[in-house]
Amino acid sequence: MTRTAFALQTTEKVNEPELIARVLAGDRLAGRELYDAHAPRVFRLAYRLTGDAELAREFTQDTFVRAFHRLADFRGDAAFSTWIHRITVTVVANAMRKVRRLRERETDLTDLDSAHPASGRDGARRIDPDLRERLAKAIDALPEIYRTTLIMHDLEGYTHTEIAGVLGVAEGTCKSRLSAARAQLRAALADFAKEYES
Amino acid sequence: MTDDNHDRFDELLEDAARTYNRPPDERQMPLDEIWKAVEAQAFPAARQPSRYAQWLRIAAALVIGVGIGRLSLSTAVGRATTTRVAVIDTTSATATPTPVAVVPLPAQPLDPATSRYLGQAAALLIALPSETSAGRPDQPFMKRANELLLTTRLLLDSQSGSDPALRNLLDDLELVLVQVVRLEKERDRSRRTELELIQQALDQRDVIPRLRTAASEYAADD
Protein backbone atom coordinates (compact mmCIF):
# COMPACT_ATOMS: atom_id res chain seq x y z
CA MET A 1 0.00 0.00 0.00
CA THR A 2 1.31 3.38 -0.97
CA ARG A 3 1.16 5.75 1.95
CA THR A 4 2.04 9.32 2.51
CA ALA A 5 5.32 8.88 4.29
CA PHE A 6 5.99 11.34 7.06
CA ALA A 7 8.15 9.25 9.30
CA LEU A 8 9.15 10.82 12.57
CA GLN A 9 12.84 10.16 11.95
CA THR A 10 12.94 12.58 9.04
CA THR A 11 12.74 15.49 11.46
CA GLU A 12 15.97 14.64 13.22
CA LYS A 13 18.21 16.89 11.14
CA VAL A 14 19.41 19.16 13.89
CA ASN A 15 21.29 18.53 17.08
CA GLU A 16 18.19 18.44 19.21
CA PRO A 17 19.72 17.92 22.63
CA GLU A 18 21.75 21.07 22.06
CA LEU A 19 18.72 22.93 20.74
CA ILE A 20 16.66 21.85 23.72
CA ALA A 21 19.37 22.99 26.11
CA ARG A 22 19.37 26.37 24.42
CA VAL A 23 15.60 26.63 24.64
CA LEU A 24 15.77 25.78 28.33
CA ALA A 25 18.26 28.62 28.70
CA GLY A 26 15.65 30.94 27.22
CA ASP A 27 16.95 31.08 23.67
CA ARG A 28 13.93 32.04 21.61
CA LEU A 29 15.69 31.39 18.30
CA ALA A 30 16.45 27.83 19.33
CA GLY A 31 12.77 27.53 20.16
CA ARG A 32 11.89 28.65 16.68
CA GLU A 33 14.32 26.15 15.19
CA LEU A 34 12.78 23.34 17.18
CA TYR A 35 9.34 24.54 16.18
CA ASP A 36 10.25 24.71 12.49
CA ALA A 37 11.56 21.16 12.59
CA HIS A 38 8.32 19.71 13.97
CA ALA A 39 5.43 22.09 13.40
CA PRO A 40 4.47 20.94 9.88
CA ARG A 41 4.02 17.32 10.96
CA VAL A 42 2.26 18.31 14.14
CA PHE A 43 -0.11 20.50 12.16
CA ARG A 44 -0.70 17.72 9.62
CA LEU A 45 -1.57 15.25 12.31
CA ALA A 46 -3.81 17.71 14.13
CA TYR A 47 -5.56 18.46 10.87
CA ARG A 48 -6.04 14.79 10.06
CA LEU A 49 -7.49 14.16 13.47
CA THR A 50 -9.81 17.17 13.50
CA GLY A 51 -10.56 17.89 9.85
CA ASP A 52 -10.71 21.54 10.76
CA ALA A 53 -8.08 24.16 9.95
CA GLU A 54 -8.92 26.38 12.89
CA LEU A 55 -8.82 23.52 15.37
CA ALA A 56 -5.61 22.20 13.86
CA ARG A 57 -4.08 25.61 14.31
CA GLU A 58 -5.31 25.92 17.87
CA PHE A 59 -4.11 22.45 18.82
CA THR A 60 -0.73 22.93 17.17
CA GLN A 61 -0.30 26.10 19.16
CA ASP A 62 -1.40 24.40 22.35
CA THR A 63 0.95 21.49 21.69
CA PHE A 64 4.01 23.70 21.37
CA VAL A 65 3.10 25.96 24.26
CA ARG A 66 2.77 22.90 26.49
CA ALA A 67 5.93 21.38 25.08
CA PHE A 68 8.00 24.49 25.78
CA HIS A 69 6.54 24.89 29.24
CA ARG A 70 7.26 21.27 30.08
CA LEU A 71 10.52 20.98 28.20
CA ALA A 72 12.46 20.60 31.44
CA ASP A 73 10.54 17.35 31.98
CA PHE A 74 11.71 15.94 28.66
CA ARG A 75 14.40 13.45 29.57
CA GLY A 76 15.36 12.34 26.10
CA ASP A 77 14.39 8.70 26.68
CA ALA A 78 12.39 8.91 23.47
CA ALA A 79 13.00 11.18 20.51
CA PHE A 80 11.71 14.72 20.84
CA SER A 81 9.46 14.07 17.84
CA THR A 82 7.83 11.16 19.63
CA TRP A 83 7.34 13.29 22.71
CA ILE A 84 5.80 16.20 20.85
CA HIS A 85 3.49 13.93 18.86
CA ARG A 86 2.37 12.35 22.10
CA ILE A 87 1.45 15.80 23.36
CA THR A 88 -0.36 16.49 20.09
CA VAL A 89 -2.46 13.36 20.30
CA THR A 90 -3.29 14.07 23.94
CA VAL A 91 -4.18 17.70 23.27
CA VAL A 92 -6.40 16.76 20.33
CA ALA A 93 -8.10 13.89 22.12
CA ASN A 94 -8.87 15.95 25.22
CA ALA A 95 -10.07 18.95 23.28
CA MET A 96 -12.15 16.95 20.84
CA ARG A 97 -14.04 15.37 23.70
CA LYS A 98 -15.24 18.85 24.54
CA VAL A 99 -15.66 19.95 20.96
CA ARG A 100 -17.48 16.73 20.16
CA ARG A 101 -20.43 18.43 18.53
CA LEU A 102 -19.35 16.60 15.47
CA ARG A 103 -20.17 18.86 12.61
CA GLU A 104 -21.24 17.61 9.27
CA ARG A 105 -18.36 17.02 7.00
CA GLU A 106 -18.06 20.03 4.79
CA THR A 107 -15.15 18.88 2.71
CA ASP A 108 -15.89 19.41 -0.88
CA LEU A 109 -15.16 15.91 -1.94
CA THR A 110 -15.87 16.68 -5.54
CA ASP A 111 -13.09 19.27 -5.58
CA LEU A 112 -10.70 16.96 -3.84
CA ASP A 113 -11.56 14.28 -6.30
CA SER A 114 -10.86 16.45 -9.29
CA ALA A 115 -7.62 17.73 -7.76
CA HIS A 116 -6.45 14.24 -6.95
CA PRO A 117 -8.27 11.87 -9.22
CA ALA A 118 -8.17 8.33 -7.92
CA SER A 119 -8.74 6.92 -11.34
CA GLY A 120 -6.04 6.34 -13.87
CA ARG A 121 -3.29 5.88 -11.29
CA ASP A 122 -1.56 2.54 -11.59
CA GLY A 123 -4.73 1.03 -12.86
CA ALA A 124 -6.66 2.09 -9.78
CA ARG A 125 -10.38 2.19 -10.24
CA ARG A 126 -12.34 5.37 -9.69
CA ILE A 127 -13.74 5.63 -6.18
CA ASP A 128 -17.47 6.16 -5.99
CA PRO A 129 -18.08 9.44 -4.11
CA ASP A 130 -20.77 7.76 -2.04
CA LEU A 131 -18.38 5.05 -1.05
CA ARG A 132 -15.74 7.61 -0.16
CA GLU A 133 -18.22 9.54 1.92
CA ARG A 134 -19.28 6.37 3.64
CA LEU A 135 -15.68 5.50 4.43
CA ALA A 136 -15.05 8.99 5.82
CA LYS A 137 -18.03 8.69 8.10
CA ALA A 138 -16.92 5.24 9.16
CA ILE A 139 -13.48 6.59 10.07
CA ASP A 140 -15.12 9.42 12.02
CA ALA A 141 -17.19 6.88 13.90
CA LEU A 142 -14.27 4.70 14.96
CA PRO A 143 -13.38 4.66 18.66
CA GLU A 144 -10.73 7.29 19.24
CA ILE A 145 -7.87 4.87 19.90
CA TYR A 146 -8.61 2.98 16.70
CA ARG A 147 -9.15 6.10 14.67
CA THR A 148 -5.89 7.70 15.79
CA THR A 149 -3.98 4.52 15.02
CA LEU A 150 -5.56 4.15 11.61
CA ILE A 151 -5.00 7.79 10.67
CA MET A 152 -1.39 7.72 11.78
CA HIS A 153 -0.60 4.42 10.10
CA ASP A 154 -2.73 4.23 6.98
CA LEU A 155 -3.18 7.90 6.17
CA GLU A 156 0.00 9.53 7.47
CA GLY A 157 2.48 6.71 7.10
CA TYR A 158 3.81 6.41 10.65
CA THR A 159 5.32 3.03 11.51
CA HIS A 160 3.96 0.82 14.27
CA THR A 161 7.07 1.57 16.30
CA GLU A 162 6.47 5.29 16.00
CA ILE A 163 2.80 5.06 16.81
CA ALA A 164 3.51 2.81 19.77
CA GLY A 165 5.98 5.42 21.06
CA VAL A 166 3.55 8.28 20.58
CA LEU A 167 0.59 6.49 22.13
CA GLY A 168 2.64 4.85 24.84
CA VAL A 169 1.54 1.31 24.00
CA ALA A 170 3.29 -1.84 22.87
CA GLU A 171 3.76 -2.37 19.16
CA GLY A 172 1.57 -5.45 19.34
CA THR A 173 -1.23 -3.35 20.80
CA CYS A 174 -0.80 -0.88 18.01
CA LYS A 175 -1.06 -3.62 15.39
CA SER A 176 -4.14 -5.15 16.94
CA ARG A 177 -5.79 -1.72 17.15
CA LEU A 178 -5.11 -1.15 13.49
CA SER A 179 -6.49 -4.53 12.64
CA ALA A 180 -9.62 -3.85 14.67
CA ALA A 181 -10.02 -0.45 13.04
CA ARG A 182 -9.85 -1.95 9.57
CA ALA A 183 -12.28 -4.67 10.52
CA GLN A 184 -14.77 -2.08 11.72
CA LEU A 185 -14.39 -0.13 8.52
CA ARG A 186 -14.99 -3.22 6.43
CA ALA A 187 -18.08 -3.96 8.46
CA ALA A 188 -19.31 -0.40 8.02
CA LEU A 189 -18.82 -0.71 4.29
CA ALA A 190 -20.48 -4.11 4.04
CA ASP A 191 -23.37 -2.58 2.12
CA PHE A 192 -20.86 -1.49 -0.46
CA ALA A 193 -19.15 -4.87 -0.61
CA LYS A 194 -20.57 -5.54 -4.06
CA GLU A 195 -19.29 -2.17 -5.16
CA TYR A 196 -15.71 -2.86 -4.28
CA GLU A 197 -15.89 -6.49 -5.25
CA SER A 198 -17.01 -5.61 -8.73
CA MET B 1 -12.66 -11.92 1.74
CA THR B 2 -10.91 -12.52 -1.55
CA ASP B 3 -7.50 -11.09 -2.44
CA ASP B 4 -9.13 -8.83 -4.96
CA ASN B 5 -11.50 -7.64 -2.28
CA HIS B 6 -8.56 -7.02 0.02
CA ASP B 7 -6.77 -5.00 -2.65
CA ARG B 8 -9.88 -3.00 -3.24
CA PHE B 9 -10.16 -2.16 0.45
CA ASP B 10 -6.53 -1.04 0.47
CA GLU B 11 -7.33 1.08 -2.54
CA LEU B 12 -10.11 2.69 -0.56
CA LEU B 13 -7.69 3.47 2.26
CA GLU B 14 -5.23 4.92 -0.22
CA ASP B 15 -7.99 7.13 -1.47
CA ALA B 16 -8.77 8.14 2.11
CA ALA B 17 -5.12 9.14 2.56
CA ARG B 18 -5.65 11.61 -0.28
CA THR B 19 -9.07 12.83 0.68
CA TYR B 20 -9.92 12.26 4.34
CA ASN B 21 -9.29 15.44 6.37
CA ARG B 22 -6.62 16.24 3.85
CA PRO B 23 -4.18 18.76 5.35
CA PRO B 24 -3.11 21.77 3.30
CA ASP B 25 0.33 21.91 1.73
CA GLU B 26 3.02 23.03 4.12
CA ARG B 27 3.28 26.37 2.36
CA GLN B 28 -0.35 27.03 3.18
CA MET B 29 -0.12 26.10 6.82
CA PRO B 30 -0.34 29.14 9.13
CA LEU B 31 2.91 28.18 10.81
CA ASP B 32 4.25 31.72 11.27
CA GLU B 33 1.04 32.88 12.88
CA ILE B 34 1.01 29.89 15.18
CA TRP B 35 4.62 30.58 16.13
CA LYS B 36 3.78 34.15 17.09
CA ALA B 37 1.17 32.89 19.50
CA VAL B 38 3.48 30.19 20.84
CA GLU B 39 6.29 32.67 21.24
CA ALA B 40 4.12 35.14 23.11
CA GLN B 41 3.14 32.45 25.61
CA ALA B 42 6.34 30.44 25.86
CA PHE B 43 8.91 33.21 25.60
CA PRO B 44 7.09 36.26 26.94
CA ALA B 45 10.09 38.13 28.25
CA ALA B 46 12.55 37.20 25.58
CA ARG B 47 10.84 38.59 22.54
CA GLN B 48 13.64 39.30 20.08
CA PRO B 49 13.60 42.48 18.08
CA SER B 50 12.49 41.93 14.53
CA ARG B 51 14.79 42.77 11.66
CA TYR B 52 12.51 45.71 11.05
CA ALA B 53 12.86 46.90 14.62
CA GLN B 54 16.61 46.62 14.30
CA TRP B 55 16.56 48.93 11.29
CA LEU B 56 14.47 51.38 13.20
CA ARG B 57 16.90 51.20 16.08
CA ILE B 58 19.69 52.07 13.72
CA ALA B 59 17.74 55.09 12.59
CA ALA B 60 17.01 55.96 16.20
CA ALA B 61 20.68 55.58 17.02
CA LEU B 62 21.55 58.00 14.26
CA VAL B 63 19.07 60.53 15.58
CA ILE B 64 20.20 60.18 19.15
CA GLY B 65 23.82 60.26 18.16
CA VAL B 66 23.50 63.46 16.25
CA GLY B 67 21.21 64.98 18.86
CA ILE B 68 23.66 64.32 21.66
CA GLY B 69 26.50 65.44 19.43
CA ARG B 70 24.74 68.70 18.83
CA LEU B 71 24.27 69.26 22.49
CA SER B 72 27.87 68.51 23.31
CA LEU B 73 28.95 70.71 20.44
CA SER B 74 26.90 73.61 21.70
CA THR B 75 28.86 73.56 24.95
CA ALA B 76 32.23 72.85 23.51
CA VAL B 77 34.62 75.64 22.65
CA GLY B 78 37.01 75.40 19.75
CA ARG B 79 36.35 71.70 19.14
CA ALA B 80 37.19 70.09 15.86
CA THR B 81 34.43 69.46 13.38
CA THR B 82 34.32 65.78 14.28
CA THR B 83 32.65 64.99 17.56
CA ARG B 84 32.37 61.63 19.29
CA VAL B 85 28.77 60.83 19.98
CA ALA B 86 26.92 58.28 22.05
CA VAL B 87 24.86 55.74 20.19
CA ILE B 88 22.38 53.99 22.39
CA ASP B 89 22.28 50.26 21.88
CA THR B 90 18.59 49.68 22.43
CA THR B 91 18.93 45.95 21.75
CA SER B 92 20.24 45.45 25.25
CA ALA B 93 17.78 45.22 28.08
CA THR B 94 19.30 48.15 29.89
CA ALA B 95 19.74 50.38 26.85
CA THR B 96 22.92 51.83 28.30
CA PRO B 97 24.37 54.58 26.16
CA THR B 98 27.63 53.35 24.69
CA PRO B 99 29.91 55.50 22.61
CA VAL B 100 30.35 53.53 19.42
CA ALA B 101 30.45 55.96 16.56
CA VAL B 102 31.90 59.12 15.26
CA VAL B 103 29.56 61.23 13.24
CA PRO B 104 30.88 64.23 11.37
CA LEU B 105 29.09 67.29 12.63
CA PRO B 106 28.95 70.87 11.51
CA ALA B 107 30.65 73.61 13.49
CA GLN B 108 27.55 75.51 14.50
CA PRO B 109 25.03 74.16 17.04
CA LEU B 110 21.42 73.53 16.18
CA ASP B 111 18.67 75.82 17.35
CA PRO B 112 16.72 74.56 20.38
CA ALA B 113 13.62 73.71 18.32
CA THR B 114 15.58 71.40 16.05
CA SER B 115 17.33 69.76 19.00
CA ARG B 116 13.95 69.22 20.63
CA TYR B 117 12.57 67.76 17.42
CA LEU B 118 15.49 65.32 17.17
CA GLY B 119 14.89 64.20 20.73
CA GLN B 120 11.21 63.66 20.02
CA ALA B 121 11.98 61.69 16.88
CA ALA B 122 14.42 59.52 18.82
CA ALA B 123 11.85 58.86 21.52
CA LEU B 124 9.25 57.88 18.94
CA LEU B 125 11.55 55.52 17.06
CA ILE B 126 12.76 53.89 20.24
CA ALA B 127 9.17 53.30 21.31
CA LEU B 128 8.12 51.89 17.94
CA PRO B 129 9.34 48.28 18.37
CA SER B 130 7.34 47.82 21.56
CA GLU B 131 4.35 49.50 19.92
CA THR B 132 4.44 47.18 16.94
CA SER B 133 5.15 44.04 18.93
CA ALA B 134 2.09 44.79 21.07
CA GLY B 135 -0.03 45.12 17.94
CA ARG B 136 -0.75 48.01 15.68
CA PRO B 137 0.63 51.33 16.99
CA ASP B 138 -2.13 53.36 18.60
CA GLN B 139 -3.61 56.57 17.24
CA PRO B 140 -1.69 59.10 19.37
CA PHE B 141 1.51 57.36 18.35
CA MET B 142 0.66 57.55 14.67
CA LYS B 143 -0.43 61.15 15.03
CA ARG B 144 2.96 61.95 16.54
CA ALA B 145 4.70 60.14 13.68
CA ASN B 146 2.72 62.21 11.20
CA GLU B 147 3.66 65.44 12.97
CA LEU B 148 7.32 64.50 13.05
CA LEU B 149 7.23 63.61 9.38
CA LEU B 150 5.79 67.04 8.64
CA THR B 151 8.50 68.69 10.76
CA THR B 152 11.18 66.65 9.02
CA ARG B 153 10.01 67.86 5.66
CA LEU B 154 9.86 71.47 6.86
CA LEU B 155 13.41 71.17 8.17
CA LEU B 156 14.57 69.71 4.88
CA ASP B 157 13.18 72.75 3.13
CA SER B 158 14.59 75.17 5.68
CA GLN B 159 18.03 76.52 6.53
CA SER B 160 18.78 73.45 8.64
CA GLY B 161 18.51 71.37 5.51
CA SER B 162 21.54 73.08 4.04
CA ASP B 163 23.84 71.37 6.52
CA PRO B 164 25.00 68.23 4.60
CA ALA B 165 25.34 65.99 7.67
CA LEU B 166 21.97 67.00 9.04
CA ARG B 167 20.37 66.85 5.63
CA ASN B 168 21.51 63.26 5.20
CA LEU B 169 20.13 62.39 8.56
CA LEU B 170 16.84 64.12 7.84
CA ASP B 171 16.58 62.27 4.54
CA ASP B 172 17.00 58.96 6.30
CA LEU B 173 14.62 59.98 9.02
CA GLU B 174 12.01 61.05 6.53
CA LEU B 175 12.26 57.68 4.84
CA VAL B 176 11.75 55.81 8.08
CA LEU B 177 8.90 58.04 9.20
CA VAL B 178 7.09 57.65 5.90
CA GLN B 179 7.20 53.89 6.36
CA VAL B 180 6.05 54.19 9.94
CA VAL B 181 3.10 56.31 8.93
CA ARG B 182 2.21 53.80 6.22
CA LEU B 183 2.13 50.98 8.72
CA GLU B 184 -1.09 52.37 10.11
CA LYS B 185 -2.90 51.47 6.93
CA GLU B 186 -1.34 48.12 6.30
CA ARG B 187 -2.53 44.75 7.36
CA ASP B 188 0.01 42.28 8.70
CA ARG B 189 0.99 40.75 5.38
CA SER B 190 1.37 44.09 3.65
CA ARG B 191 3.20 45.34 6.69
CA ARG B 192 5.86 42.74 6.09
CA THR B 193 6.25 44.04 2.57
CA GLU B 194 6.60 47.53 3.94
CA LEU B 195 9.35 46.35 6.21
CA GLU B 196 11.18 44.92 3.25
CA LEU B 197 10.88 48.26 1.54
CA ILE B 198 12.35 50.02 4.55
CA GLN B 199 15.25 47.65 4.46
CA GLN B 200 15.76 48.15 0.73
CA ALA B 201 15.58 51.89 1.00
CA LEU B 202 18.01 52.02 3.90
CA ASP B 203 20.30 49.70 2.00
CA GLN B 204 20.26 52.00 -0.97
CA ARG B 205 21.14 54.90 1.27
CA ASP B 206 24.10 53.04 2.72
CA VAL B 207 23.06 53.65 6.29
CA ILE B 208 24.81 50.57 7.60
CA PRO B 209 28.11 51.14 5.76
CA ARG B 210 28.06 54.70 7.02
CA LEU B 211 27.57 53.49 10.55
CA ARG B 212 30.32 50.89 10.17
CA THR B 213 32.71 53.46 8.80
CA ALA B 214 31.92 55.77 11.66
CA ALA B 215 32.37 52.94 14.15
CA SER B 216 35.72 51.91 12.72
CA GLU B 217 36.89 55.52 12.74
CA TYR B 218 36.01 55.63 16.40
CA ALA B 219 37.86 52.39 17.10
CA ALA B 220 40.95 53.70 15.31
CA ASP B 221 40.68 56.97 17.18
CA ASP B 222 40.52 55.17 20.51
* CATH number for the domain harbouring residue A181: 1.10.10.10
Q: Which residues of B touch A136 (CB under 8 A)?
A: 16, 19-20
Chain B interface disruption, residue of A22, A45, A65, A71, most B CBs within 10 A:
A65
> CB A1 to CB B14 under 8 A?
yes
**Is B9 within the bounds of a domain?**
no
Residues of A in contact with B24 (CB under 8 A): 47, 53
Same domain, A19 and A90: yes
For residue A15, give its domain range: 1-100
Q: What is the ipTM of this complex?
A: 0.80
Instruction: Return the pLDDT at A69.
Output: 95
Residues A84 and A125 in one domain: no
Choice between A155 and B85, residue whose per-residue pLDDT is larger: A155
Q: What is the CATH number of the domain that holds A94?
A: 1.10.1740.10
Q: Strand B82-88 to strand B97-104: parallel, antiparallel, or no bridges (unpaired)?
A: antiparallel
B106 neighbors B166 (Cβ within 8 angstroms): yes
Greater model confidence, A183 or B43: A183
Percent helix, percent strand, percent coil in chain A, to nearest 5: 70, 0, 30
The number of distinct structural domains making up chain A is 2
Residue B103 gets the label, from left (phi > 0), alpha (psi -120 to 50) or beta, of beta
The C-alpha atoms of residue A45 and residue A88 are separated, in whole angstroms, by 8
In angstroms, the CA B92 to CA B135 distance is 22
- Which of chain B's residues have a Cβ under 8 Å away from the Cβ of A54? none
B102/B87 Cα distance (integer angstroms): 9
Of A94-98, A107-111, B27-31, B153-157, minimum mean pLDDT range:
A107-111
Question: Measured at the alpha carbon of residue B8, what is the angle toward residues A146 and A138, in degrees to the nearest 5?
Answer: 35
Instruction: Give the mean pLDDT of A55-74.
Output: 95
User: How much is the pLDDT for A106?
Assistant: 47
- A136 within 8 A of A128, measured Cβ to Cβ: no
Residue A82 and residue A127 in one domain:
no
E strands along chain B, which residues? Answer: 82-88, 97-104
CB contact A53 to B (< 8 Å) = yes
Structural domain total, chain B:
1
**A78 interfaces chain B, CB cutoff of 8 Å:** no
Contact A135 B16 (CB under 8 A): yes
pLDDT at position A119, please? 40
Together in a domain, A162 and A193: yes
Structure confidence at residue B21 (pLDDT): 95
Are residues B177 and B149 in contact, defined by beta-carbon separation less than 8 angstroms?
Answer: yes
Question: Among partner residues A2, A35, A127, which is closest to B12 by beta-carbon distance?
Answer: A127
Q: So what's the pLDDT on residue B137?
A: 63
CB spacing of B42 vs A65 below 8 angstroms: yes
> For B208, what's the count of Cα atoms within 13 Å in the CB-facing half-sphere?
10
Q: Looking at chain B, how many residues does it have?
A: 222
Q: Are B61 and B215 in contact (CB under 8 A)?
A: no
For residue A107, list chain B residues with Cβ-Cβ distance below 8 A: 19, 21-22
Write the residue in B17, B31, B43 that is nearest to A154 by C-beta: B17
A171 has a pLDDT exceeding 50? yes
Is the residue at A107 inside a domain?
Answer: no
Contact status of B31 with chain A (Cβ, < 8 Å): yes
C-alpha to C-alpha distance for B157 and B147, rounded to whole angstroms: 16
Using a CB-CB distance cutoff of 8 angstroms, which residues of chain B are in contact with residue A132?
12, 15-16, 19
| Together in a domain, A42 and A74 | yes
Partner residue facing A26 (CB), from B14, B19, B46:
B46
Per run of 10 residues, the mean pLDDT along chain B (length 222 residues) is 66 92 94 94 66 60 58 46 40 39 48 72 68 63 81 76 73 77 63 58 57 46 46
pLDDT range class, residue A38, cuts 50, 70, 90? very high
Does residue A106 belong to any structural domain of this protein?
Answer: no
